[in-house]
Amino acid sequence: MAAAQTKKRPTEKIESDREDLHGLHKTCLVTPSTGLAKSLRQAWKYPDALVVRQKLVNAAKEQDCVNYIVDTRVGDISMWPALLSTTADADSKGWFFVVHSMSAIRNLQPLPRKHAFFELESVEPGEVAASIRRALDPELGRRISAVEYQPRFGVFLIEMSNGKRYPLSISDLPDADNSEVKDCRIEADGSYLSVEQESGNRFEVPWDVVLYHCEPEYEYYRDKPASIPSDDSAKRIGGRVRALREKKGLSVQALADRAGMQRPNLSRLELGKHRPSLETLERVADALGVPVADIIAKR
């Protein structure tokens, strides 16, 4: 009996993983075109996770989708802002618009935070499907597919396998020196860049370093607001900064200068009118000579 149960577990695990993946990629395609729907479904990584609807009013019922593909030829495209406002967590979802002329974009205001456009006049439906699929695959966002160094600007132009492109300044890389870049190549199936400079200095740039500096959606993006418990309000943090500043005998201007901030920005932080990013908190903490924990910890 025990042996029979053990044999079933791998299958159950596979089905469970499959359901999780489908949930992660569940996408609603809104289009009146059966041809576009067929092309997308054929190219989709998880075909049964693609829900097809012919009108926006029907798509509004698909609240559990994490991505939406909107063909601007749908008959009720004029209700577009309503769909955006009635979709739960709209700004956390991916929105992809298939347009047949770029002038159609004028009808799509306001736009969600995470969006992209595909013009069918210049690409085939299958290419649209493949491009969207790449954009939605998180693994492809962790692989570097192309790099070019621009010595004039001191910037690496980096393209990831999901099609996203980022400019990464060499000044953001602490292992780099002031000499010119001699060689830059992609290593280990795109997991990192290998850089050699004229001085002989060699260093590596992993994919997560690229996202840390360049991708706002990345979990550890350098300018992402600090992860602070809900009961730690911006006003309480601001009050803590003000108390520490006064304890050190510093004026607002003096602390702002030490932290490399504008005085009005520091004033807004102290008044609780601005939720600081982790990078800002680190700068203020360094200027006060205390760890970040002393600013955000409950007292």
- CATH code of residue 175: 3.30.2020
For the four alpha carbons of 50, 52, 55 and 57, in that order, the dihedral sign comes to negative
221 located within any domain: no
Q: Output 74 or 137, whichever has higher pLDDT.
A: 74
Final residue in a domain of this structure, among 136, 167, 186: 136
Q: Is the pTM of this model over 0.85?
A: no
* Residues 127, 150 within the same domain: no
Residue 155's pLDDT band, with cuts at 50, 70 and 90, is very high
Structure tokens at 290: 């205390």
* Residues 121, 179 within the same domain: no
* Residues 171, 125 within the same domain: no
- Say if residue 152's pLDDT is above 50: yes
* Residues 171, 45 within the same domain: no
Structure tokens at 186: 């992609």
**pLDDT 10s digits, 81-131:** 778 877 888 877 888 888 877 667 777 778 887 787 877 766 666 677 677
* Residues 121, 11 within the same domain: yes
- Say if residue 188's pLDDT is above 50: yes
Strand partners, 193: 186, 205
Q: Output 129 or 190, whichever has higher pLDDT.
A: 190
87 located within any domain: yes
* Residues 10, 95 within the same domain: yes
Could you give the percent of the chain with pLDDT greater than 70? Answer: 80
Residue 20's pLDDT band, with cuts at 50, 70 and 90, is very low
Question: What whole-number distance in Å separates Cα of residue 93 and Cα of residue 84?
Answer: 10
Contact, 153 vs 172, CB < 8 A?
no
- Expressed as residue numbers, the domain containing 49 is 2-136
Query: How many residues make up the chain in this entry?
Result: 299
Q: Mean pLDDT for the chain? A: 80
* Residues 47, 150 within the same domain: no
Residue 282's pLDDT band, with cuts at 50, 70 and 90, is confident
Amino acid making up residue 293: A
* Residues 73, 125 within the same domain: yes
Contacts within 8 Å (CB) and 24+ apart, 117-124: 120/36, 124/39
* Residues 238, 254 within the same domain: yes
- Say if residue 21's pLDDT is above 60: no
Determine the pLDDT at residue 203.
93
